[in-house]
Structure 1
């Protein structure tokens, strides 16, 4: 499943109607959650049926398309399932008990409630919310896909406007040729990553660079009177700045992951528990800024698309063990040079990346002669392709 995103252009009245649809979606989701809390052994199908009861009991809820109401119920069912899965897996800490939604920023339609124009430049929403026809602004061409391949349509609200996403059920045919290259990646805070060949990519530190502007905008919000239009405008300016930082992070993660996967037959990376690492109050901001999880997610995705082997490796002792002789050399985080009695002197991150690659080679029994083939790969999961990333990714879905 691939998600193509377009900027939606409409009138002020249409934006107000979209906001109304978002509020209805939030209301239905919260009602379904309350229904689950008050009744035992509630199945997802029961929640779907309950949306019809909500529509009959509340006239404003009936304005939203039935498939959109069911999609809101599915969000509740997904949150419930994730909670029970976390309980069964006995993950440490909080298990993610479903909460009532305070702010909703998206409404999702299935196969009904919308209609694409013949030139694929406009979309019309046909339910009683009266959103009407919106212009789609973006570089992606939906003519490559049939209408029946579009399984979901979402309207997403962000600080800089409204967007329409199309979830397309599509296959991508990729011809992979072996190049005989393998690589191990050690991510860090000084460098975005250090590979087993000694190459480094600098950490862009987008949040740190924008921190001064963010503090100024936050100060402007706090000085405005609560509930005033000026405060709403200040909040919007702050939100757009945060949105820019998040997009910079994502764009960098995509470019780096794509470059690594296309250049190597096997990619090994350390699988870090970022959720636990950000509990360190001194490093939490820097760890969040570097976006390790986002980078590794795109590594795995591009590995599936391009038919490359992407291996997550337990980082335990990768920095302590010598990559030359295997001897354990204990050192604190402040020690950045690995010095072993065997005569091996390496940068700490380079030593770790070599250990990560060696672990992956042993774990997968990797053989260069067996890699490099032509197959058809399904793009698993949902990957959002933004219009402003077209130059970096190309139209890979063609």
Structure 2
């Protein structure tokens, strides 16, 4: 079997630091936050003093004074020695962690000033409030000059000491630990290992693709496949909303900054963390189910940010379509499967049997066409997505686009050799039957099960 060059995976484990180590970790986070803010202030000051040309000034205001030299990562990293002389507390922080902190700022700065290939830029970097920086990175692990060493169930960090790690799953053989990130969550401290895997298989060969489906995501049903199978929306946030409101109400009655306030704020944060973990686990279950069932998964490229500005914002953010699609594409790459995103316009209106436009509002949940096809609205959309995805693949191949062989989720798609890839195109009756019949959508109940990310 052929394999890709490598893939980076992240395994996260719970830490059990001592009370003294917790104080050290929190001190590091606070000092790195202050250094981050100071470095950001340097960059903003340089930008404000150099944004006007030398022969003209702003009509509003213009800073007066000596124009400083350009500030970037290299100049700020060279000033770390002076920072330690002026503030001796920074001598207790591992040097690589301070450099990684400046690299984070440099990355945010470049995303703000330099547009990407689509012409979009990130937001302006903000000053961090107390507690905002709750993670720091050791860029090298288990190497001679590394600041972090993992031996069995013990993680030894430079200038911190040995911390017990709860290895709930072993690190697979052949995986190399590239870096370790120590982070704090509402329920304690964690370590995230970035692993390099050099045995990730290529996608299934084109001639061997036998199953393909289109998935239509929604709010009434989480998704519907072209086979007519649907998964119900779990609504984790909606179910926890009443409990969250009670805890938030108790928090509002506490004196801000007191110990009781901090305890209640932690309870609210832990509930939010629990909801996020439930949603993520559900997304992984669905993604693994799709990757096990199909060789090619076709989804719709939705403008989720735009949809989240409507009256349905809370429900849309609760299902988290964007996070699910990212997880699904990553799982598909690790399993050697194909994914493709297509334009969703018209998929709910056009008939999957005859192609005729059947106008209907969102309240109408059944697609009924003059050709005799009567099926669920989401099922009809999933069938259209599959047909459109297979048709786009045929057009791309005819245009002569080279095949992609990459391990990233964005490059997980591959040009199909034929439009249908040996699959029967559904007629008015559904997947295999060409006679018009009334069909109902079946629901797939996903039970909680464990999936290993390296599968």
Cα distance change of structure 1 residues 380 and 179 upon mapping to structure 2, 3 Å threshold: closer
Unaligned stretches of 5+ residues in structure 2: 1-7, 48-69, 397-404, 411-447
Q: CA RMSD in A?
A: 2.6
More deviation in 24-33 or 242-251?
Answer: 24-33
Question: Does 1 or 2 have the higher relative contact order (CA < 8 Å, sep 6+)?
Answer: 1
What does residue range 71-86 of structure 1 map to in structure 2 within 5 Å?
71-86=100-115
Larger fraction in helix = 1
Instruction: Find the counterpart in structure 1 of residue 319 from structure 2.
Output: 290
Give the number of equivalent residue pairs.
373
On the 8 A contact 2:367/2:377 being kept in 1, the answer is yes
Q: Does residue 151 of structure 2 align to residue 144 of structure 1?
A: no
On the 8 A contact 1:307/1:377 being kept in 2, the answer is no
Q: CA deviation at 1:269?
A: 0.6
Per the normalisation by structure 1, the TM-score is 0.86
Q: Does residue 87 of structure 2 align to residue 58 of structure 1?
A: yes
Q: Does residue 269 of structure 2 align to residue 239 of structure 1?
A: yes
Per the normalisation by structure 2, the TM-score is 0.76
Distance 2:119 2:338 in 1: 29
On the 8 A contact 2:222/2:319 being kept in 1, the answer is yes
Distance 2:212 2:452 in 1: 25
Unaligned stretches of 5+ residues in structure 1: 368-375, 382-389
Give every structure 1 segment of 4 or more consecutive aligned residues whose post-TM-superposition deviation is greater than 6 Å. Answer: none
Q: CA deviation at 1:19?
A: 0.6
Q: Does residue 244 of structure 2 align to residue 186 of structure 1?
A: no
Residues 45-102 of structure 1, C-alpha deviations (whole Å, 9 max, x = no match) = 33433444433432222321111011111111111122234487444xx841111122
Cα distance change of structure 1 residues 95 and 164 upon mapping to structure 2, 3 Å threshold: closer
On the 8 A contact 2:225/2:382 being kept in 1, the answer is yes
SS at 2:31 equivalent: helix
What does residue range 333-352 of structure 1 map to in structure 2 within 5 Å?
333-352=362-381
Give the alignment partner of residue 114 of structure 1, picking from 143, 147, 162: 147
What does residue range 1-398 of structure 1 map to in structure 2 within 5 Å?
1-40=8-47, 41-86=70-115, 89-91=118-120, 95-102=122-129, 103-111=132-140, 114-118=147-151, 120-127=152-159, 131-142=160-171, 144-145=173-174, 149-174=176-201, 178=208, 180-280=210-310, 282-365=311-394, 378=407, 392-394=450-452, 396=454
Distance 2:90 2:383 in 1: 58
On the 8 A contact 1:116/1:124 being kept in 2, the answer is yes
Cα distance change of structure 1 residues 78 and 396 upon mapping to structure 2, 3 Å threshold: same
More deviation in 73-82 or 36-45?
Answer: 36-45
